[in-house]
Structure 1
């Protein structure tokens, strides 16, 4: 079975249940006015282990997905390098003590990630793969080394929790 999901404009307000959006014009005065001018900020957290930056590469794929993943031991930051824009998919965090606590299918959302934006996902927020609009795409992932290592062979109850949703989502721009 498949479900159509419309891609939304990525704004601070729309994204706030899922994380922080960093953008060049956040609608507030800069908090540092001397060069370089600081216009926006967002936190990044790692509980245990070592934080790291990973250079990640993607090829354009079909705009569909059927699973989501979450991380409970950190927040994750995403910084676009080349090939944007891209589609990101998210759903609200659920019970962190229950690995089978999935978000409702109606709560899943998709956003168009533009080149001049970065974002950090709140701890436990469900997210899907990044779907670039261009043939090649690169981004920097601020993450936890142990989580990166685990993503090679995800554990059932480790920090990389990947779950099938039971439906395929088709994204509509």
Structure 2
């Protein structure tokens, strides 16, 4: 078609702490626990995410999200300038995690990750990210984020959507 711009393509890659570090924290158990508690019956992996609520306070919410599938169309990303936002799967459903760099107030260099069982994420304050997207089936998530006064949501709608495809292999 004349005048139509093809959507940009992204490949979803496995979520790793190293690759995700510029955008937030991967919260997962790895290695020996920091402390043994509860009469020696529980290992505590301590302080795994940098939570930042600015002038607000921490809130815990439960999200019920509809299933998404690959290929997946990204029409918008959002960010929360006043606080971090953590997503903790309650059903073991993997998430498609879309993040982007900030380029003078606009998202740039989108990246796509797929979480693995046992992984949660904490998005740093102000990080551009896609909406909650459980893969393959609906999922429930505990979300820890900022509750407080002031606007804490910015959205950016793409004039040409991005398409996220599965990694080969």
Structure 1 counterpart of 2:106, from 81, 102, 107:
102
SS of the aligned residue for 1:37 comes to: strand
Provide the residue aligned with 1:49 in structure 2.
56
Provide the residue aligned with 1:73 in structure 2.
82
Moved over 4 A (4+): none
Between the two proteins, the alignment pairs up a number of residues equal to 155
Q: What is the root-mean-square deviation of aligned Cα atoms in Å?
A: 2.0
- Computing the radius of gyration from Cα coordinates, the structure with the larger value is 2
**Residue 83 and residue 42 in structure 1: after superposition, are their counterparts in 2 closer, same or farther (change >3 A)?**
closer
Provide the residue aligned with 2:3 in structure 1.
none
In structure 2, how many angstroms separate the alpha carbons of the residues matched to 1:49 and 1:12? 27
1:18 aligns with 2:23: yes
- Residue segments in structure 1 that go unaligned for 5+ positions in a row: 96-100, 151-157
Query: How far off is 1:29 after superposition?
Result: 4.5
- Residue segments in structure 2 that go unaligned for 5+ positions in a row: 1-5
1:171 aligns with 2:164: yes
Instruction: Tell me the TM-score normalised to structure 1 length.
Output: 0.80
In structure 2, how many angstroms separate the alpha carbons of the residues matched to 1:70 and 1:18? 11
In structure 2, how many angstroms separate the alpha carbons of the residues matched to 1:61 and 1:116? 19
More strand by share: 2
Instruction: Tell me the TM-score normalised to structure 2 length.
Output: 0.82
Provide the residue aligned with 2:122 in structure 1.
120
Residue deviations 1:19-49, cap 9 Å, x none? Answer: 0111111xx5432245421235222111122
1:39 aligns with 2:42: no
More helix by share: 1
**Residue 3 and residue 94 in structure 1: after superposition, are their counterparts in 2 closer, same or farther (change >3 A)?**
closer
